[in-house]
């Protein structure tokens, strides 16, 4: 466990080293691991979601978190971003145990992250331009001219400079996600987190998002965490993969290593088989008996 | 479950709710300073809660004033005191009907709008997105709306009172032939600054209560369509009941 440190509140430009001037000093060296989830347990009143989860995200790599629906992939992102705390175990980000940080400390870390939500989560009372400018206006005192340049640059990067003055309600799902991506990178984060970036997208939009994730990671030198269950898409971009099942990581490695795994649950997930360890049917009483009970 | 256990749960649930609202209020108040430093956000909310409620407030004020004059003249005629119609209407509007009816209308128009707007922001991850951008939604969303509602309420009450008095004059003077000079001079002579102050204090108190409930319910709404609907209903019910309870105590305090 690391010692809590005072974290500054102000926000500045990215330092040449890649770390912001106001960013907390890194904790004890953990080689190039940026996010380290150690033996995390977490539950809600109705069930235990994590039963000892271990995940490491390394700098500069695209890490895919995969797993069947309901395994807690989005909950894991909430753990990593400090929205919730594990009941047992630790979540260490840039050497800081999140449980030891106060609200301002968590906020200081979040300024170094960008997150793309499944539905975009654009602010509906602001247009596209203002949505992308929002973090800049909140955290910097940059002149309007510079804000305009930054916003248009980011919108151009996602191909939506021409949509700058549309309202979120006028965007398609894929466009909304690209705007959200522009907003997520406008503060030049070091880590980008994607929550189900491909869900509900047509093949063209999916291809665009895939390309953008790869470009952001390589071009901007980011570290990416992608939560999804789209195996084929992730296999084309991910450097490291984790497969979650029943509250734990059941397999990890490169997408190729996962594809050649002998574990039943991994095979079922990678091939999309409808029955296996992940049962098609939700636990229920005997089918015949339940139907006959109705006749009685 | 026995009746005692049910009553016990009700009491504990009620106390828990009071505690939660109090903690929420403390959090909002802590962010009011930073929110006031950005007047654009507050002015926008005064416009949303106030200006957008103007038509319903003016229309209601007009008819409340007219009804007040009709019932007032019927009652006063029995005692041969039609001359004091203006005083009765003015005091009724300034001290009681203006603040209370405006608060009830505010809860139904602006309160529901605030709750559903914030509830939908919760349901569509907009509040979480702000948190992830290290922007406190209490500062950006809750506090400006809270301040905006409190500022808007006395302004709406003032407009309600003026239009209501005009409605009373319309019925009393134009239709029921009460002397215009008597109507206005009696009103001017009998209404004191204390009466106006009572109305202003009541409107501020109702603005505080109604806006706090609306923002709290929206902020804590379950992130589903049903959750936002239920929160909106709770806003109207709780605002109306609390407005009337607070009104009783304030009226008693001003006697």
Q: Give residue-wise pLDDT tens across range A32-66.
A: 888 999 988 998 888 888 888 889 999 988 999 98
Alpha-carbon gap, residue B32 to B177, rounded angstroms = 51
Q: Does A123 touch chain B (CB under 8 A)?
A: yes
Lowest-confidence region among A2-11, A159-168, B101-110: A2-11
A184 and A208 assigned to the same domain: no
Helix pair B39-49, B112-123: axis angle to 10 deg? 120
A101 and A122 assigned to the same domain: no
- Which of B95, B90, B72, B64 minimizes the C-alpha distance to B185? B90
Distance of CA B23 to the CA centre of its chain: 22
Contact B133 A110 (CB under 8 A): yes
Q: For residue A202, what is the domain's CATH number? A: 3.40.50.300
Q: Does A134 touch chain B (CB under 8 A)?
A: yes
pLDDT of amino acid A31: 64
**Could you say which DSSP state residue A201 is in?**
-
pLDDT tier at B244, thresholds 50, 70, 90: very high
Contact B134 A81 (CB under 8 A): no
A98 within some domain: yes
Smallest CA–CA distance, residue A259 to chain B, in Å, is 33
Task: Specify the 3-state DSSP secondary structure of A121.
Answer: coil
Q: pLDDT (tens digit, 9 = 90+) per residue, A115-169?
A: 988 888 999 999 999 999 999 999 999 999 999 999 999 999 888 899 999 999 9
Range(s) of the domain holding residue A123? 115-188
Q: Does A100 touch chain B (CB under 8 A)?
A: no
Chosen from A78, A82, A102, A117 to mutate, greatest number of chain B CBs within 10 A: A117
- Which of A93, A130, A131, A140 minimizes the C-alpha distance to A112? A93
Q: Does A115 touch chain B (CB under 8 A)?
A: yes
Chain A residues touching B131 at Cβ < 8 A: 83, 110
- Which of A184, A181, A193 minimizes the C-alpha distance to A35? A193
A276 within some domain: yes
Cross-strand bridge partners of residue A242 = A65, A252
A10 within some domain: no
Alpha carbon separation from A121 to A48, A169, A176, A215, B207 (Å, rounded): 28, 12, 8, 22, 31
Tokens of A288: 């015949």
Contact B130, B195 (CB under 8 A): no
Query: Which domain-ending residue is among A188, A223, A248?
Result: A188
A103 and A54 assigned to the same domain: yes
Nearest chain A residue to B134 by CA: give it: A107
**Could you say which DSSP state residue A192 is in?**
E
Nearest chain A residue to B124 by CA: give it: A121
Contact A117 B131 (CB under 8 A): no
| Angle at alpha carbon of residue A129, lines to A126 and A135, rounded to 5° | 80
pLDDT tier at A295, thresholds 50, 70, 90: low
Query: Which domain-ending residue is among A137, A167, A188?
Result: A188
Sheet hosting strand A113-116, strand order edge to edge: A113-116, A191-195, A223-227, A62-66, A240-245, A248-253
- Which of A166, A159, A255 minimizes the C-alpha distance to A209? A159
Q: Does A167 touch chain B (CB under 8 A)?
A: no
A294 within some domain: no
A174 and A273 assigned to the same domain: no
Tokens of A272: 């999309």
Residue range B166-173: mean pLDDT, rounded: 94
Which member of A107, A123, A180 has the closest CB to residue B134?
A107
pLDDT of amino acid B228: 94
pLDDT at A11 over 70: no
Smallest CA–CA distance, residue B134 to chain A, in Å, is 5
* E strand or H helix that includes residue B232: helix B225-254
Chain A residues touching B126 at Cβ < 8 A: 121-124
Query: Which domain-ending residue is among A188, A223, A239?
Result: A188
Alpha-carbon gap, residue B73 to A189, rounded angstroms = 71
Alpha-carbon gap, residue A112 to A243, rounded angstroms = 26
A79 and A198 assigned to the same domain: yes
B16 vs A197, residue with greater confidence: B16
Alpha-carbon gap, residue B106 to B151, rounded angstroms = 12
A100 and A202 assigned to the same domain: yes
Residue range B200-212: mean pLDDT, rounded: 96
A254 and A207 assigned to the same domain: yes
pLDDT of amino acid A216: 81
A155 and A76 assigned to the same domain: no
Residue A27: CB atoms within 10 A of its CB come to: 18
Pairing of strands A88-93, A33-44: antiparallel
Q: pLDDT (tens digit, 9 = 90+) per residue, B39-60?
A: 999 999 999 999 999 999 999 9
Domains held by chain A: number: 2
Measure CA of the first residue to CA of the last residue in chain A; give whole Å. 61
Chain B residues touching A137 at Cβ < 8 A: none
Lowest-confidence region among A52-61, A198-207, B145-154, B203-212: A198-207
Contacts within 8 Å (CB) and 24+ apart, B31-35: B31/B136, B31/B138, B31/B139, B31/B142, B31/B143, B32/B143, B32/B146, B32/B147, B34/B139, B34/B143, B35/B139, B35/B143, B35/B144, B35/B147
Dihedral pair phi/psi, residue B61, rounded to 5°: -60, -45
* E strand or H helix that includes residue A237: helix A231-237
Pairing of strands A47-58, A33-44: antiparallel
A178 and A197 assigned to the same domain: no
Cross-strand bridge partners of residue A56 = A36
A181 and A260 assigned to the same domain: no
A130 and A61 assigned to the same domain: no
Percent with pLDDT over 70 in chain A: 88
Q: pLDDT (tens digit, 9 = 90+) per residue, B56-92?
A: 999 999 999 999 999 999 999 898 888 889 999 999 9
* E strand or H helix that includes residue A239: none
Q: What is the mean pLDDT of chain B?
A: 93
Chain A residues touching B124 at Cβ < 8 A: 119, 121, 124
Number of cross-chain residue pairs from A and B with Cβ atoms under 8 Å apart: 49
Chain A residues touching B129 at Cβ < 8 A: 115, 117, 121-123, 180
Burial B159-177 (b: 16+ CB within 10 A, else e): bbbebbbebbbebbbeebe
pTM score: 0.82
Q: Does A84 touch chain B (CB under 8 A)?
A: no
């Amino acid at each position: 466990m690391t010692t809590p440190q005072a974290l500054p509140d102000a926000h500045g430009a990215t330092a040449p080293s890649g770390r912001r001037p106001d960013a907390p000093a890194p904790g004890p060296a953990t080689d190039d691991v940026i996010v380290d989830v150690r033996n995390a347990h977490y539950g809600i009143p109705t069930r235990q979601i994590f039963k000892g989860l271990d995940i490491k995200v390394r700098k500069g790599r695209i890490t895919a978190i995969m797993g069947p629906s309901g395994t807690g992939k989005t909950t894991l992102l909430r753990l990593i971003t400090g929205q919730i705390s594990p009941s047992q175990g630790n979540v260490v980000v840039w050497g800081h145990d999140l449980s030891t940080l106060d609200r301002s400390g968590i906020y200081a870390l979040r300024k170094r992250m960008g997150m793309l939500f499944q539905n975009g989560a654009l602010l509906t009372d602001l247009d596209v331009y203002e949505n992308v400018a929002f973090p800049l206006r909140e955290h910097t005192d940059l002149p309007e001219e510079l804000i305009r340049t930054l916003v248009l640059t980011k919108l151009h990067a996602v191909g939506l400079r021409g949509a700058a003055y549309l309202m979120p309600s006028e965007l398609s799902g894929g466009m909304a996600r690209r705007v959200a991506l522009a907003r997520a990178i406008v503060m030049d984060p070091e880590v980008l987190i994607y929550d189900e970036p491909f869900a509900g997208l047509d093949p063209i939009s999916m291809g665009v998002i895939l390309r953008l994730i790869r470009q952001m990671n390589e071009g901007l030198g980011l570290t990416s965490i992608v939560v999804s269950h789209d195996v084929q898409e992730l296999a084309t971009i991910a450097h490291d993969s984790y497969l979650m099942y029943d509250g734990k990581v059941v397999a990890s490695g490169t997408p190729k290593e996962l594809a050649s795994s002998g574990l039943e649950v991994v095979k079922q997930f990678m091939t999309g088989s409808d029955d296996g360890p992940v049962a098609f049917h939700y636990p229920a009483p005997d089918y015949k008996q339940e139907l006959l009970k109705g006749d009685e | 479950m026995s009746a005692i256990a049910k009553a016990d749960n009700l009491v504990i649930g009620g106390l828990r709710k009071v505690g939660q609202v109090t903690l929420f209020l403390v959090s909002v108040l802590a962010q009011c300073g930073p929110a006031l430093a950005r007047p654009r956000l507050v002015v926008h909310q005064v416009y949303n809660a106030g200006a957008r409620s103007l038509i319903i407030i003016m229309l209601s004020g007009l008819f409340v004033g007219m009804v007040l004059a009709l019932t007032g003249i019927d009652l006063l005629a029995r005692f041969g005191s039609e001359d004091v119609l203006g005083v009765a209407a003015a005091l009724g509007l300034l001290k009681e009907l203006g603040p209370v009816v405006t608060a009830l209308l505010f809860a139904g128009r602006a309160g529901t709008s605030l709750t559903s707007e914030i509830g939908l922001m919760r349901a569509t991850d907009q509040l979480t997105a702000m948190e992830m951008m290290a922007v406190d939604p209490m500062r950006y969303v809750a506090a400006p709306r809270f301040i905006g509602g409190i500022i808007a309420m006395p302004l709406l009450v003032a407009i309600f009172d003026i239009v209501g008095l005009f409605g009373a004059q319309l019925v009393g003077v134009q239709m029921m032939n009460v002397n215009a000079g008597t109507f206005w001079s009696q009103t001017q002579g009998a209404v004191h600054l204390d009466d106006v102050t009572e109305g202003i204090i009541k409107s501020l108190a109702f603005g505080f209560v109604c806006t706090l409930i609306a923002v709290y319910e929206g902020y804590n709404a379950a992130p589903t369509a049903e959750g936002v609907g239920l929160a909106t209903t709770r806003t109207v019910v709780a605002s109306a009941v609390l407005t009337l309870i607070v009104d009783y105590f304030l009226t008693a305090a001003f006697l």
